Amino acid sequence: MSLTGGIVLYSVLWFLVLFVLLPFGQQSQADVGQVTPGTPAGAPHEPKLKKKMLWATLIAALIWGVIAYVIIGGIITRADLEAWTR
């Protein structure tokens, strides 16, 4: 895996994990009873983005480490993947 490939893989994993984490622990403004004028009642009350971004960073790093180990360690190679298509 090249440096560019590693960075791209980490970026994709980070955004994927962040989008999975966004709805967890979410309360809408209607649930809390504090609807800000001009916003829909279903808008998040406190999104806690910093905390979710930190968790996304940690989880993505863990997943990236496992995938990088598999690729760099030669556990699964391109030849293995080509054998599956035949």
| Digit-coded pLDDT (tens) for 20-71 | 999 998 888 888 888 889 989 888 898 899 999 999 999 999 999 999 999 9
The answer to whether residue 74 scores a pLDDT higher than 90 is no
Question: Tell me, what amino acid is at 80?
Answer: D
Question: Tell me, what amino acid is at 19?
Answer: F
User: How far apart are alpha carbons 69 and 35 in whole angstroms?
Assistant: 48
Calculate the alpha carbon distances from 50 to 16, 53, 77 in Å: 16, 5, 37
